[in-house]
Structure 1
Amino acid sequence: MSLPTDPAALWSTLTPGPDGLVAAVVQHVDTGEVLMLGHMNAEALARTLASGRVTFWSRSRRQLWEKGETSGHTLELRGLAVDCDADALLVRAAPRGPTCHTGAPSCFFRPVGEPAAARPSAVFEQLFAEICERKAGRGMTNRAGKSYVRDLLAGGVAKIAAKLHEEAGELAEALAEDDRGHIAREAADLLFHALVGLAHRDVPLADVAAELARRMGRSGLDEKAARAPAAAEPDEPAPSG
């Protein structure tokens, strides 16, 4: 059964607690990862629907707060669902930067008991978030006050591209060996520098994931053949026959 999208009508279908709030569980729209838990009142829900950016009611400050209004790490609304008891919302969102104030992609990063192996997607998200933090001038530096990421970004495309060529060559050499650890280390170096390149051009990981998702279930040969051919250089004749 679909619910109304009008804020007042939608709120009338909910069952808030004695404090007038409903829980709002935020989920990453692409990965399904749970990012955070907040609370909404009628005004926060209306503001979220009107602006397209997730807004909560802060129980500690007793006021509305839009996620990322000071940090820039907003949550862009992609969908809403109501639970069976109508006292909680599932908010599907696209995060712009880390969701947690600690810099982690998700607020739920402390396992109970033996830590499980980190999901690859979570590692990439956290690493990319940290790179974006360095780009913004925030975060850790070494004892001399320098940051490798900021040095790369300051060098622009030329410096980043040079590192990508270097790391790709080293990975190619490692693949010729039978040393899984070496291959993993060189692959990590290449992927790290690729993420720096994305951050330099302000291309979010979600765009890369969307492109890969678009290609899934399709022959790689067919996908490549469907791409527009690169234009020939002015002094290079176009191939014939």
Structure 2
Amino acid sequence: MNIGEIKFDEKGLVPAIVQDARSKAVLTLAYMNKESLELTLQKKETVFFSRSRQKLWHKGETSGNTQAVESISYDCDQDALLVQVIPSGPACHKGDYSCFNDMLFKGTKVKEEPYAILEQLKQVLTERKTTLPENSYTSKLFQEGVDRIAKKIGEEAGEVIIAAKNDDKQELSMESADLLFHLLVLLTDRGVSLDDVLSVLEERHQ
């Protein structure tokens, strides 16, 4: 990629669509100038130009919600960028996984991003572990510790096996969801991210 090929607008900016490299969900639309694009390539993390503050901003510099860049491509007119990233936290300043949460129109054939729920659960579980709100099942699991969480995983795994042997697809889906949820709780409790697990799968696949 040659930065000289990018067509910046009259203000020296180019729109950058940021996409989760794994889930393919669109996370945000930001802008880059030549300097921020150069810094993004150098740091391998997104650096944008804030039009409201008229300054560069390194995504996650203060919040810790950085975006590791996997690839950058540009469109056929060379005036827009697609930046694929591995996010380490919410993309939206409101704390949401993606900035695109409000629906203006939805057709009957359009489905929600299937993996967005995993990112949302990751955020909720991290928050629960930190704040431990009262009357929360998840908070209780964190407080009871790894032995209790591991026991629940064993119980849910047994339920998955029973559902599979019963050849009940609905029951198998529900029990699998319970198992996956408790696995995410365990990973959060032990400080292992879902991205770490996915990285292992990717390495094995390759």
TM-score, length-scaled by structure 1: 0.73
Task: Tell me what 2:10 maps to.
Answer: 18
How many equivalent pairs are there? 204
Structure 1 position 199 matched with structure 2 position 188: yes
- Is residue 157 of structure 2 the alignment partner of residue 163 of structure 1? no
Amino acid at match of 1:204: S
Call closer, same or farther: CA 1:47–1:156 in 2, change over 3 Å.
Answer: farther
Distance change >3 Å, CA 67–CA 137, structure 1 → 2 = farther
User: Does residue 133 in structure 1 map to residue 122 in structure 2?
Assistant: no
Residue 73 of structure 1 corresponds to which residue in structure 2? 65
1:46 — aligned with what?
38
In the other structure, the counterpart of 1:120 is 114
Task: Choose the corresponding residue for 1:88, options 64, 80, 83.
Answer: 80
Once the two structures are TM-superposed, the CA of residue 194 in structure 1 deviates from its matched residue by 0.5
SS at match of 1:171: helix
In 2: Cα distance, 1:102 partner to 1:147 partner = 23
Structure 1: runs of 5+ lacking an equivalent? 5-9, 218-241
- Structure 2 unaligned segments of length 5 or more: list them: none
1:216, distance to aligned residue in structure 2 (A): 4.6
The answer as to 2:168 corresponding to 1:175 is no
Equivalent residue letter for 1:62: Q
Contact 1:30 1:206 in 2 (8 A): no
- Report the counterpart of residue 60 of structure 1 in structure 2: 52
- Per-residue CA deviation, residues 68-107 of structure 1 (Å, 9 max, x unaligned), is 2233221011222222222222112111122223443322
State the distance in 1 between where 2:136 and 2:93 align.
21
**Paired AA for residue 193 in structure 1:** H
* AA aligned opposite 1:59: R
Mean CA deviation greater in 25-34 or 161-170: 25-34
Quick check: which has more Rg, 1 or 2?
1
Partner of 1:235: none
Residues 25, 113 of structure 2: 8 Å contact kept: no
Contact 1:74–1:96, Cα closer than 8 Å, also in 2 = yes
Q: Secondary structure of 1:120's match? A: coil
Cα deviation, residue 165, structure 1: 1.1
Q: How far apart in 1 are the matches of 2:139 and 2:56?
A: 35
* 3-state DSSP of counterpart to 1:85: coil
Could you tell me the TM-score, scaled by structure 2's length?
0.83
**RMSD across aligned C-alpha pairs, in angstroms?**
2.5
Q: Is the 8 A contact 1:103 1:130 kept in 2?
A: no
Residue-by-residue CA offset, 1:79-138 (whole Å, 9 max, x unaligned): 222222222221121111222234433223344234633343222222223222333439
Q: Percent identity?
A: 43
Tell me, in whole angstroms, the C-alpha distance in 1 between the residues paired with 2:56 and 2:130. 26
